[in-house]
């Protein structure tokens, strides 16, 4: 989604802003722009397309300003174009803003402003913001920082929807104002300088010390100081948080693409996620959460709420929790959760899963669960993210920064953490024998090594991709937990190769979807569940009879002459098989996209962090 970068200090800000925008390219966008304060005027450059297009227009040597804001836009209102790109000015070019989110009542505000004599050049919802700031500023009939601050506050009181806003004014060369509601915004502190961004990776190489803006909180930023205000402009203090970070994690380290690098990082990422929690002969360590034993042993049900890939991880978690802990577990699409009728009580645990921790629908579901009195647990990859700050308790995957839009290592780390949590609950509730839990710990502990074995066979998947990349349709089939892997495998293929694919429970195929099977159709079957193996083979034989070519992903010894290709993965407990069976599907999707010469890391129309509902 849209990205924001801002700088105020003693350095020329143009190179910093452009570099920050490049660091945010993984979020997904269709245009980019910057606004710099220069000699009591606001200089704006913006362009449709990649940040490189903007960079080619900007001569950093001509812009000497040390205060500026920048933006990458993901179009919601108004098609991608130069005029619809951010930053946006008011009619008199006094104020400039960049904005993430959606202003739901912008049409009403636009009509009001047009009646007041303001004109608009874009089709965006954002353009009402600088004009409202100008309107409220002029009402105060004084030129002062407090008038600017009051104008921004009054503007926000009129806005309905979600927003993170960064504003500058031509008469305020040493000031930036930041405010947020439902969209993330962080402020990094340097030496006589501040860096502002929608996401920490944009500015992590400059600072490790951050302020995280809370809901309806405003910041008045100068190069040597910062002040925080609530929605009523009451000033308050705020803690500075230091975030550890490995800068090399945000580089490709010699890999052709971030996605490939992140696929190969999965063994080490899972080791980090599980290592400090598993001690053989001792209980799983979740001492970082403070739910009492009584609270967890008296749970009546669990909800796992997430979107996209995180939701698929939740489905795997549901299977494991139900089988090991005997707790009814529901997986809900975050965007639908609030609009259904979830049965929530103090005996309900709601687990919210989000790689970024900033997914708008997931955050909205979290707030509903808290209102209803349910216990809330966040699973995220980002320390200090919104869901981790708002949930009752939080636990982290330690996947490291994930730059590619299509999630790989974050997904497997989410599953690993959900597996650990299931083992932890089972130990507390004494639903399984101690010996079985110990065996499962060992199986989980050995998984990274088995993942490395799969990655060593990448050339086999590259060869398959070379044979199938020109297909227009593919199908993924599985039963039980394999079906959830099929869903994720199909999503990966769609996301980065734009090849149409569908996933079905293998036993459901004959109830309609088999009508789509014709001569030469590529079907990928996942077969890792011993109890369902013979049934899944029978389902695959049904499509083979109708001309399909089947690629099998399995731990079992299968008849080679039945399938077009069999990819063997190492043997593990069926609970944990998704951590292995997904990896060949990730690699296959990657190689298909490469065969089609597509941008693997930044697929069209997609964003890494979806911060609008």
* Superfamily name with CATH number, domain 458-595: Glucose-6-phosphate isomerase like protein; domain 1 (3.40.50.10490)
Stated as kind and residue range, the H or E segment containing 261 is helix 258-264
Say whether pLDDT at 248 is over 60: no
Say whether pLDDT at 423 is over 90: yes
**Buried b vs exposed e over 245-261: b needs ≥16 C-beta within 10 Å?**
beeebbeeeeeebbbbb
Q: What is the mean pLDDT of residues 133-154?
A: 93
| Residue 442 CB contacts under 8 Å (≥ 6 apart), including other chains | 280
Q: Does domain 3-245 have CATH number 3.60.20.10?
A: yes
d(CA 510, CA 527): 18
Say whether pLDDT at 26 is over 70: no
Sheet harboring 186-189: ordered strands across?
A: 41-48, 31-38, 67-73, 3-8, 194-197, 186-189, 209-212, 241-242
Q: What is the mean pLDDT of residues 70-74?
A: 83
CB 573 within 8 A of CB 122: no
Q: Say whether 608 is catalytic.
A: yes
pLDDT tens-digit map of 509-552: 889 989 899 999 999 999 999 999 999 999 999 999 999 999 99
Q: What is the mean pLDDT of residues 555-568?
A: 88
Regarding predicted confidence, which is higher, 2 or 451? 451
d(CA 552, CA 543): 13
pLDDT tens-digit map of 158-206: 999 889 999 999 999 999 999 998 888 999 999 999 999 988 878 888 9
**φ and ψ at residue 611, rounded to 5 degrees:** -105, 15
Say whether pLDDT at 569 is over 60: yes
Say whether pLDDT at 61 is over 60: no
455 burial (CB, 10 Å; 0-12 / 13-18 / 19+) is: middle
Say whether pLDDT at 454 is over 90: yes
Prior bond of 447 cis (ω within 30°): no
Stated as kind and residue range, the H or E segment containing 33 is strand 31-38
Report pTM.
0.75
Average pLDDT value for the chain: 91
Say whether pLDDT at 66 is over 60: yes
Q: What percent of the chain has pLDDT over 90?
A: 70
CB 226 within 8 A of CB 160: no
Q: What is the mean pLDDT of residues 486-499?
A: 97
Dihedral angle computed from the Cα positions of residues 169, 170, 173 and 177, in that order, rounded to the nearest 10 degrees = 10
Around Cβ 550, how many Cβ atoms within 10 Å? 21
Say whether pLDDT at 465 is over 80: yes
Which tokens hold the place of 386?
């919104």
Q: What is the mean pLDDT of residues 227-250?
A: 81
SS (H, E, C) 173-230: CCCEEEEEEECCCEEEECCCCEEEECCHHHCCCCCCEEEECCCCEEEEECCCCEEEEC
Which tokens hold the place of 200?
């920490």
Which of 2, 156, 325, 350 is catalytic? The answer is 2
Residue ranges matching CATH 3.40.50.10490 in the chain:
249-454, 458-595
Q: Say whether 2 is catalytic.
A: yes
Say whether pLDDT at 246 is over 80: no
Q: What is the mean pLDDT of residues 269-298?
A: 91
pLDDT of residue 27: 61
Local confidence band at 1 (pLDDT 50, 70, 90 cut-offs): low
**φ and ψ at residue 98, rounded to 5 degrees:** -120, 150
Q: Which fold has domain 249-454?
A: Rossmann fold (3.40.50)
Q: What percent of the chain has pLDDT over 70?
A: 95
Local confidence band at 494 (pLDDT 50, 70, 90 cut-offs): very high
Distance of CA 47 to CAs 53, 88, 449, 601, 603, Å?
7, 13, 46, 21, 19
Residue ranges matching CATH 3.60.20.10 in the chain:
3-245
Regarding predicted confidence, which is higher, 333 or 28? 333
């Amino acid at each position: 989604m849209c990205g924001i970068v801002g700088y105020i200090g003693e350095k020329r800000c143009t190179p910093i802003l452009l570099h920050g925008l490049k660091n945010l390219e993984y979020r997904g966008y269709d245009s980019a722009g910057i606004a710099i304060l220069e000699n009591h005027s606001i200089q704006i450059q913006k362009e449709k397309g990649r940040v490189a297009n903007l960079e080619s227009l900007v001569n950093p040597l001509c812009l000497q300003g040390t205060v500026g804001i920048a933006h990458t836009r993901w179009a919601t209102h108004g098609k991608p174009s130069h005029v619809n790109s951010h930053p946006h000015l008011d009619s008199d070019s006094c104020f400039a803003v960049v904005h993430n989110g959606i202003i739901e009542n912008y049409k009403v505000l636009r009509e009001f402003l047009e009646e007041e004599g303001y004109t608009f050049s874009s089709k965006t919802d954002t353009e009402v913001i600088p004009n409202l700031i100008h309107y409220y500023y002029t009402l105060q009939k004084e030129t002062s920082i407090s008038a600017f601050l009051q104008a921004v506050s009054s503007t926000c009181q009129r806005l309905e929807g979600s927003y993170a806003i960064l504003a500058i004014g031509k008469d305020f060369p040493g000031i930036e104002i930041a405010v947020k509601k439902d969209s993330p915004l962080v402020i990094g502190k340097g030496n006589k300088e501040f860096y502002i961004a929608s996401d920490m990776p944009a500015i992590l190489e400059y600072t490790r010390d951050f302020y995280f803006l809370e809901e309806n909180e405003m910041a008045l930023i100068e190069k040597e100081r910062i002040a925080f205000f609530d929605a009523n402009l009451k000033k308050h203090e705020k803690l500075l948080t230091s975030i550890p970070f490995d800068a090399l994690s945000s580089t490709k380290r010699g890999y052709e693409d971030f996605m490939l690098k992140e696929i190969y990082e999965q063994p080490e990422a899972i080791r980090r996620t599980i290592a400090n929690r598993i001690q053989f002969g001792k209980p799983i360590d979740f001492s970082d959460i403070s739910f009492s034993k009584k609270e967890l042993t008296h749970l009546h049900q669990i909800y796992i709420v997430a979107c996209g890939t995180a939701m698929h991880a939740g489905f795997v978690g549901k299977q494991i929790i139900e089988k090991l802990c005997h707790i009814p577990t529901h997986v809900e699409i975050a965007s639908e959760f609030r609009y259904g009728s979830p049965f929530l009580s103090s005996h309900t645990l709601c687990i919210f899963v989000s790689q970024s921790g900033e997914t708008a629908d997931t955050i909205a579901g979290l707030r509903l669960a808290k209102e209803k009195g349910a216990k809330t647990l966040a699973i995220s990859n980002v320390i200090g993210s919104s869901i981790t700050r708002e949930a009752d308790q939080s636990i982290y995957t330690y996947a490291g920064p994930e730059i590619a839009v299509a999630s790989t290592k974050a997904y497997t780390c989410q599953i690993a953490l959900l597996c650990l949590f299931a083992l932890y609950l089972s130990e507390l509730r004494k639903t399984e024998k101690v010996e079985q839990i110990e065996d499962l710990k060992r199986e989980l502990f050995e998984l990274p090594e088995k993942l490395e074995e799969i990655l060593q066979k990448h050339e086999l998947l590259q060869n398959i991709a070379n044979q199938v990349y020109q297909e227009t349709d593919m199908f993924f089939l599985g039963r039980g937990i394999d079906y959830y892997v099929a869903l994720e495998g199909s999503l990966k293929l769609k996301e980065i190769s734009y090849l149409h694919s569908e996933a079905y429970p293998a036993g459901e195929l004959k109830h309609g979807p088999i009508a789509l099977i014709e001569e030469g159709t590529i079907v990928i079957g996942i077969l890792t569940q011993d109890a369902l193996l013979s049934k899944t083979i029978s389902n695959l034989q049904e499509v083979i009879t109708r001309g399909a070519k089947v690629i099998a992903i399995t731990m079992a010894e299968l008849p080679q002459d039945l399938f077009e290709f069999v990819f063997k993965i190492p043997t593990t407990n069926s609970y944990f098989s998704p951590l292995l069976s997904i990896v060949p599907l990730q690699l296959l999707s990657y190689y298909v996209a490469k065969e089609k010469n597509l941008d693997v890391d930044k697929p069209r129309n997609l964003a890494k962090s979806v911060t609008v509902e």
